[in-house]
Structure 1
Amino acid sequence: MIRSTFPAVLIPLLFTLACAEAEGQPPRHWAVDDGRVSLGQSTPARFELAEVTTGEPLPAPKVTGRVQAVELLTSPSYPPLAGRVEATRVRIGDQVAEGDPLVQVRTTDLPALEGELASARLQVQTKAATVEKLERMVEAKLTAEHDLIIARAELDEARLSARTARAQLRSLSVARSGDSSFWILAQRSGTVVQLDATLGQQVGPSQALPVATIADLDEVLVIADVPQREAARLQVGAQAWVTTPGSIHAPVAGEVELVSALVDPDRQTVPVRVRVANNERALRPNAYVDVAFTAVDQDPVVRVPAGAVVRDGPQTIVFVDVGTRSFEIRKVEVGRRSKNEVEVIRGLASGENIVTTNALLLLNAVDLDA
């Protein structure tokens, strides 16, 4: 941004220029013509020059990320039968082992399923007795063999119904509690990261959210919101460093797992997935963190001193030395910035000489001439 007060060395220059213009005379100390600023021999200001060189890209600025559990290390628990929550044994953040009871549900469906199994087993016994009886009668030629064939088919059907009812009960993966209640069990060891079960709440297998979710937090994902220009420089496998604002923990190393091909419609940034080892539990799901990326095999870029780059409205300008105390006004496109340096993406070539001090004075001369 251009400062509203000029440096002291510029005051005599502007005073001389103003007097010269008032008298209808050309400026004594500089002239602006055809995109160049030419300085007279009596100009009191001094301008240092430096040769443009290339180097490693500047470090990427930190971006904000959100910690999430890894999907493949997460197990949601849904109630297999409809009912109402009767009790809970866990809270968010609790550590559980596989098979631990989480939420107790009272239901009328469980007795019904057990009744179906008992009925199917009774049918099997009845059909088996009928088949045994018909086998003796056929042997004694007291009935047709066709009746025996039908009875055997009915027995097979009853056995299939019993197996289906028994498999349905086993698939519930719950622990029976009384005549009409069951406990939903943890499907893996880990941390409770989500819980949607309040006393009296109606739950069922078709609900949107699980009653509880268990996650292994030895690894986590960090979803970083990366500006589109910076995302173009990232590749899968790049290293990332994750820090929690205000934390005393050292930065945690991670690796870029995915650079999204889409832009987040709300944030207008590119989501970048970073997988991070979290054995020390320094990162917690749902926390906001800072993420810094390390470049991978990037080409050298032009880097110039920060004092060489000035802003003129929406344009970014540097002044290129063209000899005989003249400087070309060069529009450039810049990239990353640090306290002392700026990347120039377009507009400068290695080997050119540019003004690195008092560039703002030259810009003020251009504006005043205009």
Structure 2
Amino acid sequence: MKQIALSGLALAAMMAAGAGGYWVGDRGIALPDTFELLGGRSAAAEATVQRSGPVIYYGDPDGRPVYSAVPRRADDGREFVAVQASEDVSFDRTATASADAAAPAGSEAVGPRRILYYRNPMGLADTSPVPKKDSMGMDYIAVYEGEDTGGSVVRISAGRLQQTGVRTEVAMRQPVGRPVLVPGTVQLDERRIAVVATRSDAFIEKVANVTTGDRVTIGQSLIRLYSPEIAAAAAQYLTELKIDTGSARLGGARQRLENLGVPTGMIAEIERTRRVPLTVTWTAPRDGIVLERNVAEGMKAATGDVLFRLADIGTVWVLADVPEYELGSIRIGARATVRVRSQAGMRFEGQVSLIYPEVSMETRTTRVRIEISNPDGVLLPNMYAEVEIASGGAEPVVTVSDSAVIDTGTRQVVILDRGEGRFEPREVTIGRRGRGLVEIRDGVNQGDRVVVSANFLIDAESNLKAALSTMAAPEVVR
């Protein structure tokens, strides 16, 4: 039985063209996009489709929406293009059946197949064991043996594949990564901060010419002070030196000087000169910048007073605020890229050294610490930073493109290409996403070919077939 799955409007237009002396074409009546939907295409596109089956209509050679049911010529003398069954774009499988029937003898094509039943051309849950027409006069679509397996596999003709733009690709094993973009601030490395303080009461006699923000080097002189307690300990040490050098090294006077924080160089000078110094010079304990200067000449400093606060900014921390829902993708040692507004175009590379074990109640974020090398000192404390943290593992996993996954919210589906125009929806379990890829944990294997374009159309066809199979049990024609 000859079947052409066309919309009511397109079928009526074609029949009018055949019966009325090409009335549609001569009058220039345009059916928007109809020619393209029914199989009309350029010569270049035709060459990519295997043409087979009977001629079902003729289209304008320039692709205009002008059609004819019989051969005809355009105004310039060129013949209309014949559209065969395999090129017809429809949801039925008549084109495939016609192509099989038209296969030459001796080929590997399967012989005539048995018709199981006929289904409604508009997709309604209505089947018939014998040929019939619907209320619009459209033929019911034959379902052949082997096409209705009770599953969700659907067949699509080569012409329809060409027109709908179905594209496929192979599932591959590769790492999946996705950058986490979060804000952060530059902070000092707590391990690189030092203070200059006295361990006894003292009077400040001289302060070096350094102020807050200046850079100092280890051993650089900062202050000169007089401390009665240090002077007394030095005098006792000198007495022990005069009595016996050996016992002096074992006595408590030297240890007392060290406990008071007297520099080793000053103790060596006492041993060399055998004199008690009136003042002691305090030096910088490390390289860095002066964060605080709390000292002035002539002032009295009490025990434990902080006179200078220094920090080494050769390495700094960037504290990034990562949302709670992103914590699962962050790992210790992950690479991180930091950008600051004051250094446009510059990128600072580091890695995650710590994920703080606390979530903020107000912002629902967790701080992540990133260590950044800062040899030029361009990163300053409290700078705002834009942080990009690499997430995901480095191990390869089975992946497909983002566009291959149909996500309904409750389930995820991928369309598998079984070859020869057969497609099967497959429910999958997905994992991480990143760089346009989705990890497939279950449902798809490496090497499977999946649909990445027009997969919604195939899924709709599969759902329609499943609905028809469950809502109406067909009677088998014998």
Between the aligned partners of 1:367 and 1:91, the Cα distance in structure 2 is 77
CA drift of 1:61 comes to 0.9
Between the two structures, name the one with larger relative contact order (CA 8 Å, sep ≥ 6): 1
Matching residue within 419, 426, 429 for 1:329: 426
Show the 5 A alignment for 1:182-261.
185-192=283-290, 194-195=291-292, 197=294, 205=304, 212-217=309-314, 219-222=315-318, 227-231=326-330, 241-245=337-341, 247-254=343-350, 256=351
CA drift of 1:98 comes to 2.8
Aligned to 1:319: 415
Contact between 2:425 and 2:459, CA under 8 Å: does it hold in 1? no
Show the 5 A alignment for 1:262-301.
264-266=357-359, 271=368, 273-274=370-371, 276=373, 278-287=374-383, 288-293=385-390, 298-301=394-397
CA drift of 1:357 comes to 1.9
Contact between 1:243 and 1:251, CA under 8 Å: does it hold in 2? yes
1:201/1:314 Cα in 2 relative to 1: closer, same or farther (>3 Å)? farther
Between the aligned partners of 2:141 and 2:342, the Cα distance in structure 1 is 56
CA drift of 1:211 comes to 5.2
Show the 5 A alignment for 1:137-216.
160=251, 162-169=253-260, 171=262, 185-192=283-290, 194-195=291-292, 197=294, 205=304, 212-216=309-313
Aligned to 1:114: 231
1:96 aligns with 2:213: no
Q: Render the CA deviation track for 1:301-352: whole Å, top value 9, x for unaligned.
A: 43433322232225433222346644223223132323xx213241322222
Structure 2, unaligned runs of 5 or more = 1-36, 38-89, 92-119, 128-139, 267-277, 468-478
Between the aligned partners of 1:103 and 1:32, the Cα distance in structure 2 is 94
Show the 5 A alignment for 1:335-350.
335-338=432-435, 341-347=436-442, 348-350=444-446
Matching residue within 352, 355, 358 for 2:448: 352
Aligned to 1:54: 172
Aligned to 1:79: 197
Contact between 1:28 and 1:40, CA under 8 Å: does it hold in 2? no
Q: Give the letter aligned to residue 431 of structure 2.
A: V
Q: Give the letter aligned to residue 350 of structure 1.
A: Q
Contact between 1:63 and 1:291, CA under 8 Å: does it hold in 2? yes
Contact between 2:152 and 2:463, CA under 8 Å: does it hold in 1? no
1:279/1:309 Cα in 2 relative to 1: closer, same or farther (>3 Å)? same
CA drift of 1:284 comes to 3.1
Helix, strand or coil at the partner of 1:36:
coil
Q: Give the letter aligned to residue 50 of structure 1.
A: T
TM-score, normalised relative to structure 2:
0.45
Between the aligned partners of 1:322 and 1:52, the Cα distance in structure 2 is 12
Between the aligned partners of 1:317 and 1:201, the Cα distance in structure 2 is 78
Matching residue within 401, 424, 429 for 1:305: 401
1:265/1:174 Cα in 2 relative to 1: closer, same or farther (>3 Å)? farther
Structure 1, unaligned runs of 5 or more = 1-8, 129-151
1:29/1:351 Cα in 2 relative to 1: closer, same or farther (>3 Å)? farther
Between the aligned partners of 1:345 and 1:201, the Cα distance in structure 2 is 71
Contact between 2:339 and 2:347, CA under 8 Å: does it hold in 1? yes
Helix, strand or coil at the partner of 1:307:
helix
Between the aligned partners of 1:84 and 1:361, the Cα distance in structure 2 is 86
Aligned to 1:36: 152
Contact between 1:52 and 1:353, CA under 8 Å: does it hold in 2? yes
Q: Give the letter aligned to residue 111 of structure 1.
A: P
Q: Render the CA deviation track for 1:66-106: whole Å, top value 9, x for unaligned.
A: 5455566x25114233669999976654312334466899x
Contact between 1:101 and 1:184, CA under 8 Å: does it hold in 2? yes
Number of residues paired by the alignment?
A: 304
1:349/1:283 Cα in 2 relative to 1: closer, same or farther (>3 Å)? farther
